[in-house]
Structure 1
């Protein structure tokens, strides 16, 4: 029986709490304390790593906010990590509300965008993604999940390369949901992984409807090494309530509709 998202979220919050109070706790120790299997813990740590909340290392993990010297993060930092995770779920839940029965959608390798799958309920949706972690997601009974195939980029378990872009070139989606490493009014959207830029842009090109970017407010105004799309190719930005009014106006001037989602 698949665990509900509420149980998964609470378990991952407990993982963050343990990492906050234990500098060098091992994976085996952590799995034992949480009374879960090592495989479940590994999946949770992979998800938290992708969300930027933890950094994995051989045999264990640490909070991403701590330094490479394993300095103990403060309780405020741990609270911020939990808030960030809650915000990601809030963005995904809102994005899922925009999807209708019969839609074909693209979802890229983003951990935030992938959470959309867990909020689709009983909607009939055709989901095309290059996110290999989709295989471990909780999805409704009416979801048709299609992986693009392609070369596996191990760190993110994303599917990249010519095969992935070829499959995408044969599909037209109604809506596209992209997570990004950064979004800037002048420089567009960007990623830290060069190999994912072509996949992201192919999704944009093959979408006949709105292009939604899901991004925490701390990614706004940032630009990473590799560009995935121009700002005029994006129609909507879904972000948290910490976005400034000034940034909202800047995006509005570029033709991007901004939705602030409150985490309740």
Structure 2
């Protein structure tokens, strides 16, 4: 029994050693390398994930440090996207912001005065923003964990509001499905925000969401005026979106200069 336990522990240490050279590993490749069953390798990976040493995905695993680094990078790009979106807000503007956490970040970076924000994002109540911004909540049924306000009450209140601009986040955006979300109750809210914006509609989506399709379409491509994304978004998808009439804005990190640049296509 002790010999078997030592063998298992050695194999798991070897798996971690392999992941220092190659952060992503496959179950089938590990099973072949160590001459054990797929089930055995899955148990090893589950054990190591429970120890926060890796993160499993379908058919394999990735180093926990790699996963953390990727999460930090996405968070950085989302902040830059919000910062750029805020630069498009002008004094006297009125604008929609939906339940997207990324879109809500815009509030922190708005630098002009006399701006009115209409949102169904309940997290706005706990968000700090400059004095020159007035926030109006749609009301409605509060849905956790996003604290999104949805339902008939929110819809009726939105039907009579027509701001200049809409800044909306999404679960995915693609040339095929347009802007999509995972939550059915938010579809009508997003539709109204996009439909009632009198000037510009901006969809905010980092590179992990570009080219992805989620469960429910909030808006077809034809209803999306602008996409704000980052430099890692797939160029082939951006090209197709541009051909469908979407204007592309990309944030780019300038590491040598220690700053950020923005590109408009």
Q: TM-score, normalised by structure 2?
A: 0.72
Which residue pairs with 1:213 in the alignment?
Answer: 203
| Cα distance in 1, alignment partners of residues 113 and 56 from structure 2 | 43
2:73 is equivalent to residue 89 of structure 1: no
- The Cα shift of 1:246 comes to 1.9
What secondary structure is seen at the aligned counterpart in 2 of 1:218?
A: coil
Report the secondary structure of 1:251's partner residue. helix
Q: Does the CA-based 8 Å contact 1:121-1:139 persist in structure 2? A: no
For residue 197 of structure 2, give the secondary structure of its aligned residue in structure 1: coil
Deviates most, 73-82 or 173-182: 73-82
Report which of the two structures shows the higher radius of gyration computed on alpha carbons.
2
TM-score by length of 1: 0.72
For residue 235 of structure 1, the aligned residue among 212, 222, 225 is 225
Q: Report whether the alignment pairs 1:66 with 2:55.
A: yes
Match in the other structure for 2:212: 222
SS of residue paired to 1:262: strand
Following superposition of structure 1 onto structure 2, how do residues 241-260 of structure 1 map, counting pairs within 5 Å? 241-260=231-250
Residue by residue over 1:41-84, the C-alpha shift from the partner in whole angstroms, topping out at 9 and shown as x without a partner, is xxxxxxxxxxxxxxxxxxxxx99x8349xx99422221111111
| Alignment partner, residue 88 of structure 2 | 98
* Alignment-derived partner of residue 10 in structure 2: none
Distance in 2 of aligned mates of 1:253 and 1:141 = 40
RMSD: 1.9
Please report how far the alpha carbon of residue 212 of structure 1 lies from its aligned counterpart in structure 2 after TM superposition: 0.3
Corresponding position of 1:115: 105
Verify the 8 A CA contact 2:55 2:64 in the aligned structure 1.
no
Report the Cα distance in structure 2 between the residues aligned to 1:122 and 1:189, rounded to whole angstroms: 29
Find the residue that maps to 1:77 and give its secondary structure.
Answer: helix
> What are the ranges of 5 or more consecutive residues in structure 2 without an aligned counterpart?
1-50, 254-259, 261-265
1:151 aligns with 2:127: no
Indicate conservation of the 8 Å contact 1:122/1:141, yes or no: no
Alignment partner of 1:177 out of 167, 172, 189: 167
